[in-house]
A = this chain, B = another copy of it.
Amino acid sequence: MDYFNAPGRNHLFVPGPVNIPDQIIRAMNRNNEDYRSPAIPAMTKTLLEDVKKIFKTITGIPFLIPTTGTGAWESALTNTLSPGDRIVSFLIGQFSLLWIDQQQRLKFNVDVVESEWGQGAKLDVLESKIASDTSHTIKAICIAHNETATGVTNDLAKVRQILDSYRHPALLIVDGVSSICALDFRMDEWGVDVAITGSQKALSLPTGIGIVVAGPRAIEASKHAKSLRVFFDWKDYLKFYQLGTYWPYTPSIHLLYGLRAALDLIFEEGLENVIARHSRLGKATRLAVEAWGLKNCTQKEEWYSDTVTAVLVPAYIDSTEIVRRAWKRYNLSLGLGLNKVAGKVFRIGHLGHLNELQLLGCLAGVEMILKDVGYPVKLGSGVAAASAYLQNTIPMIPSRI
């Protein structure tokens, strides 16, 4: 059953699904259970409480839906909006494109604000739209905290500030798939009404839980939203939350135990330490890219992503070939360039349960492949730049002092 075996470990540096810590693999190594026994609700209760902590919300209500990020998007939209509703959505890369496609197929009236890929959401355009929407026709703003295809992080605090400046009641719906638990995300402080993520991203689980957290305004909206929905309907969850049995339909027992272990690991390391670790590894990656003489697809520092770096290659190189060779020669999994940047960028995902030497091994691999495809890289240069930074700044592993 193991296709294409190779010696040693797979080096998994796509921006999701990410490496699963051994503690989580162990926690999921089990038989099924009856989810109607007292044990599963008791555990679920702790999960719902703890998920709120990683979203930094007190007032939000989490839904752990057995689906993927795509399903979580759909749940966020259909529970809060009705067909025909006007929404503003930012197209800055492949994943925001897919979300907009979903929004359009669900028959919302999508006001698309497009940026060049590699740039962040045009918040000045948002401001002018909000400013002029005095009759509040805009029902929601849909924005990705981090666009996974280009490695661009948007400034959500600024979005909130624009909405507040104009006292605009539009819901703020955030795709936090490649940010939450890795980047600094503050649901309550930023007035995010719905935020979502997927289990296979920074939480470091297998795919299978779409996590949706809905704030009070979103819950209120869900009572009136006319989009048809059953599987994704929050109402059924809320009914079973009231009953104390929690699950309107069968959850994945395995992912619940995995999520429990994931949360325990995050709290043990400390959420702020986790975020700081992502920040260091992101910076180290960018220093390596610079040392190689390559450009970051992300055009300005303000948008740099600490979870994924999209690297532009010279025109004479096909980035797809880099990804292909990485897997074939070194068992290194990198992210492809997608759609508009296909062939032009490859992506290094640096999110999840990673440490310095894993990243440096990846960077050393990228160097060899760059040379292999004809790019005049100086071997060791990226590793040197990254490790100089890491050596100066990384503290001891706290638990080992």
Contacts and interface: CB of A to CB of B under 8 A. Distances in A.
Interface residues of A, number: 121
Number of this chain's copies in the assembly equals 4
Contacts of A394: 329-330
A260 B379 contact: no
B33 A397 contact: no
Contact of A38 (B4, B35, B249, B260): B4
B200 A250 contact: yes
A293 to B, nearest CB: 15
Interface stretch (A102-110, A113-121, A130-138, A160-168): A102-110
A238 interface: no
Interface in A13-37: 14, 16-20, 22-23, 25-37
A243 interface: no
Contacts of A390: 368
A30 B1 CA distance: 12
A198 B22 CA distance: 25
A55 B330 CA distance: 29
Contacts of A254: 28, 206, 208, 254
A227 B228 contact: yes
Given A10-B33, A361-B360, A365-B360, A208 B17 contact: no
A36 B14 contact: yes
A16 B397 CA distance: 24
Contact of A206 (B22, B252, B361, B401): B252
Contacts of A5: 23, 265, 268-269, 399
Contacts of A28: 28, 254
Contacts of A248: 70
A362 interface: yes
Interface string A227-245: 1111111000000000000
Interface string A244-260: 00001111111101001
Contacts of A198: 250
Contact of A360 (B26, B207, B329, B360): B360
Contacts of A3: 39, 42-43
B360 A356 contact: no
A307 interface: no
Interface core residue of A9, A33, A353 (most chain B CB under 10 Å): A9
A321 interface: no
B25 A230 contact: no
B391 A387 contact: no
A107 B230 CA distance: 11
A71 B208 CA distance: 13
Contact of A380 (B206, B257, B356, B384): B384
A80 interface: no
A378 B357 CA distance: 17
Given A1-B261, A356-B368, A364-B364, 15 more contacts: A3-B39, A3-B43, A4-B397, A14-B34, A19-B32, A26-B27, A83-B228, A102-B231, A207-B252, A208-B252, A328-B397, A356-B364, A357-B364, A357-B365, A384-B384
**Among all A-B residue pairs, the 6 with the closest Cβ atoms:** A380-B384, A361-B361, A8-B355, A17-B32, A360-B364, A380-B380
